[in-house]
Amino acid sequence: MSTASTPASNFIRTIIDADLATGRHRSIVTRFPPEPNGYLHVGHAKSICLNFGLAEDYQGKCNLRFDDTNPEKESFEYAESIQEDVRWLGFQWDGDVKWASDYFEALYSFAVELINKGLAYVEDLSADEMRQYRGTLTEPGKNSPYRDRSISENLDLFARMRAGEFADGARVLRAKIDMASPNINLRDPAIYRIRRAHHIRTHDAWCIYPMYDYTHCISDALEGITHSICTLEFEDHRPLYDWVLDNVSVECHPRQYEFSRLELHYTITSKRKLLQLVNEKHVSGWDDPRMPTIQGMRRRGYTASGLREFAKRIGVSKSENSVDMAIMEGAIREDLEPCAPRVMAIINPLKVTISNFDGAQAREADFHPNAPELGKRVVPFGRELYIEADDFAEVPPAGWKRLTLGGEVRLRHSYVMRCDEVVKDASGHVVELKCSIDHATLGKNPEGRKVKGVIHFLSCEHAIPAEIRLYDRLFTVARPDADREVDFCNYLNPDSLKVVQGWVEVAVQDAAPETHYQFERLGYFCTDRRDHRPKDRLVFNRTVTLKDSWTKEQA
């Protein structure tokens, strides 16, 4: 599926343009390298759009490679969801899915090569002792007493590590670089550790696993990656990336480039914290429509093209990428506006009885005023109607254009209606309106007067019951995890989900899961991809409101 549009210029494209112009590369190869230890979130969506988008725009290739070097936290469930997310966003990786575990034997051989060159050694210090030896940001580290082991001893110990002779954590293999380096990442980092954990692909074949910084750069080299793009937290790791590739026998030396990660207001993008929300039942799961996961956003009704547009709008740079939720919601709104059929739904019904119903007629209406290809449907009319309770006021505020006692409104796609009487229950609550229609106003304006207000309605007889889930922002503050002294869960929005029994037009009763609609005057909604069943159980998720009301409410 092509997602081509006019690409926005950024520093990475400038680098690629220069590399192609000078002949440094004939074509580009990028990669998207997630760890299968959770579901992807909106930050990953930005990275997917960047890496796959560059490959598409430059007629290159993009690999999907799983970083499966931490077996205790990884699963095929996560790997399969990641593949689904990439495809849903509109992209396809080159060739087969790749895995870091495809290279385990090669990675082991390169580690042996480093040992033979005197550039790696087996460490006996404990993790705590290694931290003490490492030094601080202002003080250099000091050499391990095991740093000068002979090559033969290191080869023997490393082979015995692989053979399973030592307990988990008893030894690690470290690169021998510089314990006095101002970059702590170069102070003899661990490149292998002992861990007896069942691996999703290699099962129990290995009890030692390579570390990410060591694995990642070699995997890039073996795949011929030209531009290894990652987020800014890896900038200080780039010297280690280059050191490894400079000292092992690989033909390709990719270059790493860093861009700022996405920080989206009113949510979080930490896998660990997202998992906490799931485990503590603050949400229904990874695909809860309030979650910033790609699965959650998809279930809420966000569109792939809208998310790609959002990624384009926020751009790629090295400066802080702190983005208000309204920008993403705006991209989704604009994507849905020209293509989502418009229908009427009632969320908070107030009954209306038409006293002069006899002779009233149904009327045909377009699904979208600017998209005739979406077709038409019949809007039924009945003696008893539902309107939104909020569309009536006994004591209307200044500028009120909706219904009030003695006032008139236009019913959408139907008649002008006048409220003649208000019926209340014993508590004084309005429970019904007695109204009359002007039979001469079906499809035309009334004569001799202007009616400014338009409200939507449903015929009670024809309305279909539906579960309507009103989703809002998951947190009440823009940066819920900014204060490390406060649990981010304290800022969860208690009103992030309200479930109501509503009513919808009969025209939507056959809608398949993941069908989008604009409920006129209420917002954009999508049939739930998990719980919705056509004709049997209608479930609609509010994707986004028609306007950005949140910013005004918080002001």
Active site residue 233: no
Residue type, 141: G
35 is catalytic: yes
DSSP at 510: T
Query: Cα(267)–Cα(277) distance, rounded to whole angstroms?
Result: 12
Is residue 40 within 8 A of residue 85, CB to CB? The reply is: yes
**Residue 345: how many CA atoms within 13 Å on its side-chain side?**
32
What span, in angstroms and rounded, lies between the C-alpha atoms of 295 and 82? 9
Measured distance CA(404)–CA(453) in Å, rounded? 11
Catalytic residue among 31, 35, 187, 342: 35
Angle at which helices 42-57 and 304-314 pack, to 10 degrees?
Answer: 80
Which 8-state DSSP code applies to residue 184? Answer: G
Q: How many CB atoms lie within 10 A of CB 130?
A: 18
Which residues have C-beta within 8 Å of that of residue 358, sequence separation ≥ 6? none
What are all long-range contacts of 198-205, with beta carbons under 8 Å and residues at least 24 apart? 198/71, 199/68, 199/71, 199/74, 199/101, 200/36, 200/68, 200/71, 200/74, 200/75, 200/76, 200/79, 201/68, 201/99, 201/101, 202/101, 202/104
Active-site residue, from 65, 271, 312, 473: 271
Under DSSP, the state recorded for 195 is -
Q: What is the 3-state secondary structure (H, E, C) of 16-62?
A: HHHHHHHCCCCCCEEEECCCCCCCCEHHHHHHHHHHHHHHHHCCCEE
Terminal-residue alpha carbon distance, the chain? 42
Q: Within 91-150, where are the H helices?
A: 104-116, 127-134
Q: DSSP state, 374?
A: G
Phi, psi (degrees; rounded to nearest 5) at 51: -65, -50
* CA-to-CA dists, residue 104 to 99, 101, 192, 435, angstroms: 10, 5, 11, 76
Q: Which one of 73, 261, 363, 521 is the catalytic residue?
A: 261
28 within 8 A of 16, measured Cβ to Cβ: yes
Catalytic residues: 35, 261, 271
